[in-house]
Structures are given as structure tokens and as C-alpha cells.
Amino acid sequence: MDKPTDHAALQARRAAHWRKTQRLTLILLLVWLLTGFLTVFYARELLHLNLFGWPLPFYMAAQGASLVYLAIIAFYAWSMRRLDQQFHQTPPEEQA
């Protein structure tokens, strides 16, 4: 086995893993921003929308945002577990 080639392949896999992690984190931070900031910022415009009988801004402030945050954490944990498993799998060319 060629050590520089193995090292370069490992570095490439690490870089790809890091890019995917950054992309996932950015997307989830945007979801967090949308649920936490924009529903409060546009509360007056969203008053006509009802969720379970309550105005949407009130529902999001009372409990909806907390549920979304829990969903973000659960999705992040699930996605990172999957990404880490993909990263730690032995590449097909090394199995032979």
C-alpha cells in the first residue's frame, strides 16, 4: 500500500465529511432562525394564521419553537450518526 496515496484518500474523505457537516449545520441554523426570529418579527402579519385554534405567533412563542428546536436536535443527531457511519466505513477498494 502506498502511504501518500492512503493519506491523500483519507484527507479527501475528511474534507468531504467536513463539507457535509457544515452544510447540514448551516441548513439547520437557517431553520432555527426562521422559527425563532421571523415568526416574532412578522407576528402581526401572521396573526391571521391559526394552528390548533391559536394564532401562529402565539403558538410558536408558547411551544411551537421548542418543538421545532427538539426536532432540529433529533434530526442533527440522526444525520450526523449516518454521516459518521459513512465516513468510518472501509472504502470498497480497501476491502479486497
pLDDT profile of the chain (96 residues), mean per 10: 75 91 96 85 84 82 85 97 86 51
> Do the domain assignments include residue 21?
yes
Residue 96, domain member (yes or no): no
pLDDT at 95: 43
47 within domain boundaries: yes
The set of cell numbers assigned to 1 is 500500500
- Whether 94 maps to a domain, the answer reads no
Domain assignment of residue 13, yes or no: yes
Domain that holds residue 52: 3-89
Q: How far lies 13's CA from each of 17, 36, 60, 71, 89, in Å?
A: 6, 34, 40, 28, 11
Q: What is the pTM of this model?
A: 0.73
Assigned C-alpha cell, 63: 411551544
Domains of the chain: total: 1
